[in-house]
Amino acid sequence: MESLLKYQHRCVSIFTDKSRNPTGFAVGSIEGRVAIMYVEAANPSADNFTFKCHRSTPTAPVNTQDIFSVNDIAFHPVHGTLATVGSDGRYSFWDKDDRTKLKTSDAINDQPITCCAFDARGQLFAYASSYDWHKGHEGNVQTKKNAILLRQCFEEMKPKPKK
């Protein structure tokens, strides 16, 4: 399959349907973008899509935006929603079916978040904060400590009710 993303891919994660059969995957890239792609899409141009994430809010007067790599993607085992983590030091929760953001964290530990995972029951979200080399060896500050963090997530990952 050809990717919808133009720049270097950083991560990939498979998602399943309600019967737990693999149906597609998400790919994250260095351009702060994720592609959702279905393996056997009925209408690929409508079903497959990309979205922007892990970017700073543009500020006036120049309206420039910092763009950060998507370092990892994990799908919630119960709800089918997903989490992305990035070089901006934030995690975000998304509903791919509704194509909406559920939550974005504040920056964590003043470092990138490099990887993430859900436990099998979908109760806990684990993520690691450490340097990801996106600024080369010059950006590696030895005094910054690596951290593994856990948080309850089951309710936050529920898709919002349809209106």
Distance CA 151, CA 7 (A): 31
Please state, in angstroms and as integers, the Cα–Cα distance from residue 36 to each residue in 5, 15, 51, following that order: 10, 9, 8
The pLDDT value given to residue 76: 97
Distance CA 40, CA 130 (A): 37
Bridge partners of 124, per DSSP, are 152
pLDDT tens, residue by residue, 9-47: 999 999 999 888 999 999 999 999 999 999 988 888 899
Cα dihedral 39, 36, 134, 115 in deg (nearest 10): -80
The pLDDT value given to residue 99: 95
Which domains can be identified in the chain, with CATH numbers?
A: 9-55+66-157 (2.130.10.10)
Asked whether residue 135 carries a pLDDT value surpassing 90, the answer given is no
pTM attached to this predicted model: 0.92
Residue 76 contacts residue 16 (beta carbons within 8 Å)? no
